[in-house]
Amino acid sequence: MTDSKQYEPAMRRAMELSLLGPTFGGNPQVGAVILDKDLNVIAEGFHKGAGTNHAEVDALSKLSVVPEGAVAVVTLEPCNHTGRTGPCAVALIEAGIKTVIYGASDPGDASAGGARTLADAGVSVTGGLLADEIEEQQKVWLTAMRKQRPFITLKWAQTLDGRSAATDKTSKWISGSESRNHVHKLRSEIDAILVGTNTVIQDNPELTARKPDGSLYEHQPLRVVMGITELASDLRVFNSDAKTVQYKTHDIKEVLDSLWALDVRHLLVEGGAKVMSSFIAADLFDEILIYQAPLLVGGSNVAVEEIGISTMADAKQLDFTEVTQLGKDIFIRAIPRKAN
């Protein structure tokens, strides 16, 4: 077994490179560094999106000759399947790489097994370097692959007393401009955004990702509407700024299965309260984002409705992982608490 600690600087560089790749599109963010036998960096690469060279192949393409004793350091276990591109494990073998260090194991049903393929070909393979940090950095894709459904982020804005709208149903604007810009940036980094038909009818949202100056981000998430209510074709969610699909069902798992088949790996659920509550009640969420505004409105328009909890002992346990001030608002990120 190779002593991998000496490769930590290269792995940290590979982690930096991985973040240059897109966060959407069904593929993981992966970075790779090729070292010579003296641990000098001789090539770098990262995955630039679906259909492009994977990180290892991208790095190898920078070399006219792979020197004897070269080492590949990769954030994710080299893939073992042929999709739109060939298997990275085979590419490394054919390039003459004799040592491979990787961080997180590939949980994909089809893509996993690269480490075994490399080892069977006589390559020295060591996994797990900085794995915990890489797991956190790439939690969206890794979680999605393990659960075989999109990573689900629930997001809502609320007043200090937990209301998502005033008594007359007005909800524009609860949060401030800093929070809204934060949401739009998030939208530009995900695969799809989901709302219910009631939200579409009441708010007529556009559900696009816009920059602070009002222009569209280059990437627009797929707009997903869930519910059986018929919707007018002139609603803003059906405009030409992004693609939209409506699922005329209340079955969340049916929708998730369909989105998974469309390569949706990160789904942002924005409401309304009935849809949000349905996801929470079914334990179908991986994180919750709350934009808490310093307002009080009272009334019955709560951000989350009935979720099947009748006693405090049964409350869904969460952990705060981030609490930040955005302008006058408070931004809270929470995740389900893991069972002991």
Q: Which of 16, 44, 56, 322 is catalytic?
A: 56
Of the CA atoms within 13 Å of residue 86, those in its CB half-sphere come to 8
pLDDT at 112 over 80: no
Mean pLDDT of 323-331: 97
pLDDT in tens, 78-92: 987 766 666 889 999
Q: Report how far residue 111's alpha carbon sits from residue 339's, in angstroms, rounded to the nearest whole number.
A: 29
Q: Report how far residue 237's alpha carbon sits from residue 204's, in angstroms, rounded to the nearest whole number.
A: 7
Residue 50 CB burial class (10 angstroms; 0-12, 13-18, ≥19): middle
Residue type, 70: A
Mean pLDDT of 271-293: 95
Banded model confidence at residue 340, pLDDT cuts 50, 70, 90: low
Mean pLDDT of 66-70: 94
pLDDT at 140 over 90: yes
Of 58 and 166, the structure prediction assigns the larger pLDDT to 58
Banded model confidence at residue 158, pLDDT cuts 50, 70, 90: very high
pLDDT at 163 over 60: yes
pLDDT in tens, 301-316: 999 999 999 999 999 9
H-helix segments, 245-285: 252-261, 273-281
Mean pLDDT of 235-264: 96
Of 113 and 91, the structure prediction assigns the larger pLDDT to 91
Range name among 13-22, 160-169, 180-189, 319-328 with the lowest pLDDT average = 160-169
Is 287 labeled as catalytic in the residue annotation? no
Long-range contacts of the stretch 9-14 (C-beta < 8 A, 24+): 10/35, 10/39, 10/41, 10/71, 10/73, 10/101, 11/73, 11/75, 11/101, 11/103, 11/129, 11/130, 12/130, 13/41, 13/44, 14/44, 14/55, 14/73, 14/74, 14/75, 14/103
Q: Which tokens belong to 105?
A: 């194991």
Q: What is the per-residue pLDDT for 79?
A: 85
Enumerate residues 6+ apart whose C-beta is below 8 A from 9. Answer: none
Q: What is the per-residue pLDDT for 153?
A: 98
Burial 98-117 (b: 16+ CB within 10 A, else e): bbbbbbbbbbbeebbbbbeb
Banded model confidence at residue 189, pLDDT cuts 50, 70, 90: very high
Residue type, 238: F
Q: What is the mean pLDDT of the chain?
A: 93
Long-range contacts of the stretch 254-262 (C-beta < 8 A, 24+): 255/194, 255/224, 255/226, 256/149, 256/150, 256/152, 256/284, 257/149, 259/150, 259/191, 259/192, 259/222, 259/224, 260/148, 260/149, 260/150, 262/192, 262/222
Banded model confidence at residue 274, pLDDT cuts 50, 70, 90: very high
Q: What is the per-residue pLDDT for 97?
A: 95
Q: What is the per-residue pLDDT for 2?
A: 61
Banded model confidence at residue 69, pLDDT cuts 50, 70, 90: very high
Scan for tokens 């998502």, then name that residue: 164
Q: Report how far residue 266's alpha carbon sits from residue 229's, in angstroms, rounded to the nearest whole number.
A: 25
Q: What is the per-residue pLDDT for 213?
A: 95
pLDDT in tens, 37-66: 999 999 999 999 888 889 999 999 999 999
Are 303 and 154 spatial neighbours (Cβ–Cβ below 8 Å)?
A: no
pLDDT at 232 over 60: yes
Of the CA atoms within 13 Å of residue 171, those in its CB half-sphere come to 23
